[in-house]
Amino acid sequence: MGLVSAVLTLPLAPVRGTAWVLDQVILAAEREYYDPERVRGELAALERELTSGLIDADEFDRREDELLDRLEEAEAYRQGSRSGR
């Protein structure tokens, strides 16, 4: 980048910086949401809630279905990120 273009685009620097930070936050959130180990941990915690009587079978089934769907999404996300997403 030349000196003139650096001076002319200087007012845009905060916008570029903010956009970069937002991209990093989104990437981190996606990595966390689509982490299969995290979802499996949530499934294990859900089973503990059921066995300890904190939730009933209907609540367990509903939340388990959501987590299993999320686990499938996580596997698809990981496959997509490996192939250049």
SS3 85: coil
The pLDDT value recorded for residue 67 is 96
Average pLDDT score, the chain: 86
Cα dihedral 77, 71, 40, 53 sign: positive
Cα–Cα distance, 61 to 53 (Å, whole number)? 14
Cα–Cα distance, 18 to 23 (Å, whole number)? 9
The pLDDT value recorded for residue 9 is 73
Q: Which of 8-12, 24-28, 62-66, 81-85 is least confident? A: 81-85
